[in-house]
A and B are shown apart, each in its own frame.
Chain A
Amino acid sequence: MLDLKAASIAANRFGLGAKPGELDAIAKDPRAWLSRQLVAETVAGTASWPAQLTGFLKAQHERKADIDAFKEFRKAMQQDFRAAAAKRTLDAANSPTPFRERLVQFWSNHFTVSVQRPVVVPTAVGFENEAIRPNIFGNFRDMLKTVAAHPAMLLYLDNIKSIGPNSGAGLKNKHGLNENLAREMMELHTVGVDGGYTQTDVTELAKILTGWSIANAQEPNSGQFRYRPFVHEPGDKTVMGKTYREAGQNEAITAMNDLAARPATARHIATKLARHFVADDPPKAAVDALARTYMETDGDLRAVTMTLIGLPQIWAEPQTKIKTPNELVISACRSFGITDVQAGEMLLMGLRQMEQAPFTAPSPAGWPDTADSWISPEAMMTRVEWAMAVGQKLEGQADARDIAKATIQPVASQNTLFHIDHAPSAAEALALLIASPEFQRR
């Protein structure tokens, strides 16, 4: 029997919204449709991103001699970034594996890097494709380590500037530690703010991370990870009760493995997953189940994701979550079959207008994941204005009734369908569909 409600949950809560025709296909076996997507992939063509950073570092290094060249480079780089960010949205909208894309974006948000720090511009998109995408079904500790070694994160959270006070460089230049990466690694990436660490633990982890850096403009492999023994703080360090013997670059690897293995990390990640996939206020049973799998499998994210698919709480009730602006725009592009930037310009502009342009999160904590943060009266008005603008843009290209049937029908109220049916114009019918509670929720 076709289960269209379950298909709607699979397509919207797990996926990124239904494409026309997709609901019927998913309805044959929603859970199988999801589990089929649990295969990691790499993305071809990301090789240009390290080159971007190399070029940027070179232009920055030489900017005293040639400021115009630097400005030119920066401008081109920002254009490239915007094009890549737009492509990222459209790729998600057209993906045949939208659950996988949602997970990529979930983990990318968990390990936020943001172009609010302009130095992140050349690496932000590459970061997601290189550090996140290949690891979402692997082991959490591997994602953690790949992230921490990625130039985007090392630049974003200042680790390239952190210098052990008793290292060669520290003794010579009186430079010192920068705690930024160490603190966020504990507070945001692993054990969470209640994970039982102290200021001393932050400082000690910062010492462990000294030396994790990138090659500069004059060094070989410029822009890529480089361990710098000369800035590494020598001696033993103790983090959360465990002492790490001096081991150079490997100290951080051991420390991250240990952080990943902590029950507090399991709990922190389980809570974030449950908040994203079940409800803003996640039920304890769902969090418990996810955390249990995490601990039993030593952080195997494929196993954790399988548990997620099986959570009865997710399938119990549709439409518990309000879409973020990012989810709203992607799902609209998906429903209307928008495949290229030019055709989608109006829709993509919504990301900026609703203040969730890709890779612009306001802080390392990433984008919030609760309706409270996204449904202020002002934000609601902006959503409605955007819906109206999109309706006007797409008038004549799509029939609201057809799209409604292919997207929100299984969960739509009679009231919503009635108003779409009886809208005074085709543009308003499309706009009402987008503005409808059933389309605004997932």
Chain B
Amino acid sequence: MALDMPFENIILPRRAFLTGVGAAALAAGLPRVVLADAPTDKRFVVIILRGAMDGLNVVPPYGDKDYAALRAQIAIAKPGETDGAFDLNGFFGLHPALAEIAPWYKEGALLPIHAVASPYRDRSHFDGQDVLENGTLSARDTESGWLNRALTAMGGSDRRIGLAVGQSIPLVLRGPTPVASWAPTHMPEANDSFLTLVQAVYQGDQRLSAALADGIRATAAADHAIGTDNTPIASAGMVDDGKPAPYRGQEALAEAAGKMLADPNGPRIAAFDAQGWDTHAAQGGAKGRLAQALGGLQASLVALRRSLGPAWKDTVVLMATEFGRTAHVNGTNGTDHGTGTVTLLAGGAVAGGKVAGQWPGLADGQLYQSRDLMPTTDLRAVMKTVLAEHMGVPRDRLDGFVFPNSSDARTLKGIVAA
């Protein structure tokens, strides 16, 4: 199938081979997807790390004199030692569970930014995630997310420019600009004649009819990008092998997102979640819950890069979490809710190969509230930089509209490839 073919010629049902519905059956009165010129060829993927990722062990400052003592038995060993970190710059290392993407750093496709936090300063996951996603100064301030407002500012009113991967649309992508959403299905596809009937029944129900129309469009677009070979993917919440459930399916979602983003007529911006970061207990050092969660994230990144293919060079992936974790190890081999943490950028369009940000130190007087890594970079500054320099969002729209009251959070230099 030629990738540059307009959508209207190739609407395919998901898994046509299962339902036996051929192209002839598609003549029914479905809305056809009309191509609009995408405002950019750059790709931007946001992965929300829900649960508060521990930046101090993901990019451990092994060169800081206080690090090993604070982290005690869960400290990541120095490079060269058993289970030691991968050295980044003689001061920071990379968690040993990230072996597969460690070479990306040398290649310039991985950029950690340390001691980052959103404006949120309390320690509730839910409010923290709300602020991370709504792009304002406080939780429940607005019903729309900064990524949705960025789409508006880009003029990306075509609903296919933004894509939520998973069953629900995360707040970061919710808002007035319509976006597509996609998730793998386990059921036979509803055929077009039935969908037409359902549309007729939904006439009087604005909410359901809008969701259905968007769903039909997104399905067509996804089929176009990833084909109809929709191998069933384990769903969240299954508990058959004792492995933590959150990582199952994550990799497959990333793979599919990459395929759709790679499509020249596909979305430019995608968002999905990665879970498993709330390591109150058994966080461990080189092994443990954090290592497991990183393994899941790494598998997603590798799948994303593979499926993006040549589009990887035009891609920035932002991995952000609601806040960091306490500098001290707690009583249960874990860490509790904190403040500053690391933010990771990956992709061919990243100016990686260095650790950005200002290191505040870990001595008693340097910690935030004597407890957490002191934030020195506003997460919104990272987001604004990627949106401005990579996605071409007009700067005058970033301060007031995409991120209200954010003029203090100035864009950063040298994190996106020129």
Contacts and interface: CB of A to CB of B under 8 A. Distances in A.
Interface of A: 71, 74-75, 78, 81-82, 115-116, 118, 121, 158, 161-163, 165, 170, 174-180, 183, 187, 193, 199, 202, 322, 349, 352-355, 357, 360, 362-363, 365, 371-382, 384-389, 413, 415-416, 419, 423-424, 428, 431-432, 435-437, 440
B123 A376 contact: no
Contacts of A170: 331
Contacts of A354: 167
A179 B331 contact: no
A436 to B, nearest CB: 5
B332 A158 contact: yes
A373 to B, nearest CB: 6
Contacts of B211: 375-377, 379-380
B388 interface: no
B197 A419 contact: yes
Contacts of B124: 183, 187, 193
B133 interface: no
Nearest to A121: B239
A374 B181 CA distance: 12
Per DSSP, are chain A's interface residues mostly helix, strand or loop, or mixed?
helix
Interface string B302-335: 0000000000000000000000000000111010
A371 B207 contact: yes
B197 A355 contact: no
Contacts, number: 197
Contacts of B167: 354-355, 376, 378-379, 382
Contacts of A424: 193
Contact of B185 (A362, A372, A382): A382
Contact of B208 (A162, A372, A380): A380
B202 interface: yes
B177 to A, nearest CB: 14
Closest 6 CB pairs of A and B: A176-B331, A360-B237, A377-B214, A377-B215, A175-B331, A381-B215
B331 A381 contact: no
9 contacts: A78-B239, A175-B331, A178-B281, A178-B331, A180-B336, A193-B139, A372-B174, A379-B167, A381-B216
Contacts of A161: 281, 331-332
B361 interface: no
A272 B336 CA distance: 27
A351 to B, nearest CB: 9
A238 to B, nearest CB: 18
A118 B243 CA distance: 8
A178 B278 CA distance: 12
B260 to A, nearest CB: 13
Contacts of B201: 415-416, 419, 432, 435-437
A401 B203 CA distance: 20
